């Protein structure tokens, strides 16, 4: 189980993590939360229907990582598609941000609930719902890191340049995190497949 998820009864999954892995995952999830930004807390007694129809931004984010997390719906080839993308964003981005925040918060909360054993590790056990939220957060983390590293499809394969970075390259720690998150994500997907 060390280093990869395994299926558990009831549709969940478990993975053994050491203290360093737990700290890295938690730190990355917190940084993702900071990138996504705080959500609007509903006022006590606020109309839930009004919150449902609250409008979000109509312009794409200027930060490349946020633009990757919240992409244009219809591209930007012509004015008509730009207008449709703006309209779509206005009514969907707030909900998408809330879901991404919830996914990242689930990662933080499940990691915070772990009890580190005497050997410096713990087994993280997730329910089926927590697995889906972890998958979302792992995907968002990889998209964010990949955007910051300017990862291309050619970089991804076993022969890609990500695997040949010298230890002196300052990107190496983030590349290692990116690849590790990909492996975690892959094994988690495999555990959830019928």
Task: Say what the pLDDT of residue 20 is.
Answer: 94
Q: What is the band of 78 on the pLDDT scale with cuts at 50, 70, 90? A: low
Does 136 score more than 80 pLDDT? yes
Q: pLDDT value at position 139?
A: 97
Which of 7-16, 72-81, 141-150, 156-165 has the least mean pLDDT? 156-165
Query: Tokens at residue 176, please?
Result: 């290692």
* Spatial separation of the C-alpha atoms in residues 60 and 146, rounded to whole Å: 19
Q: Please provide the distance, in angstroms rounded to a whole number, between the alpha carbons at the two ends of the chain.
A: 19
pTM of structure: 0.86
Q: pLDDT by residue (tens digit) across 62-75? A: 999 999 999 888 86
Torsion of CA 23, 139, 34, 150, to 10 degrees: 100
d(CA 28, CA 26): 5
Mean pLDDT of the chain: 87
Q: Judge contact between 178 and 145, C-beta under 8 A.
A: yes
């Amino acid at each position: 189980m060390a280093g990869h998820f395994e299926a558990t009864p009831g549709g969940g999954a478990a993975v053994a993590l050491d203290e360093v892995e737990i700290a890295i995952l938690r730190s990355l999830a917190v940084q993702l939360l900071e990138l996504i930004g705080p959500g609007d807390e509903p006022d006590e007694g606020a109309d839930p229907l009004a919150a449902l129809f609250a409008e979000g931004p109509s312009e794409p984010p200027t930060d490349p990582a946020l633009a990757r997390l919240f992409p244009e719906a219809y591209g930007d080839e012509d004015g008509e598609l730009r207008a449709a993308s703006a309209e779509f964003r206005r009514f969907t981005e707030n909900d998408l941000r809330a879901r991404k925040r919830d996914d990242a918060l689930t990662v933080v909360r499940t990691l915070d609930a772990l009890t580190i054993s005497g050997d410096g590790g713990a087994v993280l056990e997730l329910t089926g719902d927590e697995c889906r939220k972890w998958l979302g957060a792992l995907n968002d983390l990889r998209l964010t890191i990949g955007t910051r590293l300017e990862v291309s499809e050619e970089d991804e394969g076993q022969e890609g340049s990500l695997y040949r970075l010298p230890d002196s390259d300052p990107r190496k720690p983030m590349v290692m995190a990116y690849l590790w998150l990909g492996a975690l994500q892959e094994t988690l997907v495999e555990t959830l497949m019928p």
